Structure formats: structure tokens, C-alpha cells
Amino acid sequence: MAGDFIPHQDGAFLEWAKTLTSYVAAHLTGFNIQEAALAPIQTLLAGYQTAYDRAENPNRGKVDVLAKNEARDALKAALRTFIKAYLTYNPEVTDVDKESMGLPLHDSTRTPVPAPSTIPEIELDSSVIRQISAHFRDSGSGRRGKPQGVHGVELRWSLLEAAPVSIADLHNSAFATATPYIFSFDEPDRGKTLYICPRWENNKGDKGPWGEIVKAIVP
């Protein structure tokens, strides 16, 4: 959103708004902006120019100053919305364009998020019939939940009669972004053993190392 780069003083704000509006008007086609989108800004700018001139007159009254302030606030609010909607993230608006309009430059390069390097720990709660809740935390952490930079946890699981030899024996997959993840089962599953193995995943889909395989009996 537009912020402190908008001049505070009335006269400076007027000149900045005129420069921006004129620049956009001259580049509507290049910026892929419809003329109708700019028209309200131009109308508000004209109104502010008139109100500003009256307020600068030595014979001005309180009403003139109030009208100028209201016109300025209306134009400023409209410009904030217009800049955010049509200029800030418009790929056709270059850094040179932004500097020419008096707009700030935004860093478009995002810091890469590394693949998770730690492992989740799972705590299973089987206090509810036909249900097992899997609470997860980062290894060594004293609080439940995912660590910073992690989108969620992948849970590989299966109901097995014998302990799995490897993670490949766990044929089902679930994903959770908030703890706990609740496994629900049918009546015939009661008494079977649930095996689960977790690993973290970031928002790019990069996965961390697998944690320990844990188990619980379906209540």
C-alpha cells in the first residue's frame, strides 16, 4: 500500500499527484490500464487543485480550508487504491517508470526458503474411541506445532499386522499444517496397529528427512 512516500505538505502532494497522474495518462496503453480506471483520479485531482487554490487565497475562510482538506484526503485515498491495484505489481511498470512517478521500488526477488533440515516428533493420543490424534513438534522443541519456514508435515501411515521394515511399507499419506492431525477409523479397525512416520515440508514442496516411525493401537 502507498505509504510515507506520499508528500505530506499540501503543495508538494499536489505536484506529486499531478506528475503521477500525467505520467499514467501518457502510458495507459503500455501499462494496460483502461482510461476509465484513471478518470476518477483525474476528477479528484481537478477538484483538489480548485480547492487548493481557494485555500491559498489570502481572503480564504475556514470553509475553504476544510474543503481543501477533504479534497486532499479523498484524492490521497483514491491514489493509494489506484497505485496498489494498477502500478505496484504491474509487470509493465518498470523501476524507471516508478521513479518517474515518485513511487518506491519493491524488491521482487524473494529470499529462497531452504528445505527443512530437522525432523518432526510425533505424540499419539488414543483417548477417543476409533480415533488417534497425532500431535507434532520439531525435534527437541518444547512446544507443539511446526517450526519457522515449514508449511506442514507429511504423515506416511498404514494399519499393519507386523512392524514395517521400512518407510516404503507405509502406503498411505496425509498432510497437516496445524497440530494435531486426527486419524478416524471404522469399528472393524479397532485393535489394529497404526504406524506413522513424519517429515516436514516447506511451501515449495521441498521435504526434510524422515522422523521416527511411531505406533498406536486403534481404540
- Residue 1 predicted with pLDDT over 50: no
pTM: 0.52
Q: Give the largest CA-CA distance in the chain.
A: 94
Q: What SS3 class is residue 164?
A: coil
Sheet holding 193-201, edge to edge: 172-176, 152-160, 193-201, 214-217
Class of domain 120-217: mainly beta
pLDDT per residue over 11-22, tens digit each? Answer: 999 999 999 999
Residue boundaries of the structural domains of the chain: 10-101, 120-217
Gap between the Cα atoms of 152 and 176, Å rounded: 5
> Count of CB atoms within 10 A of residue 51's CB?
22
pLDDT per residue over 6-56, tens digit each? Answer: 898 999 999 999 999 999 999 999 999 999 999 999 999 999 999 999 999
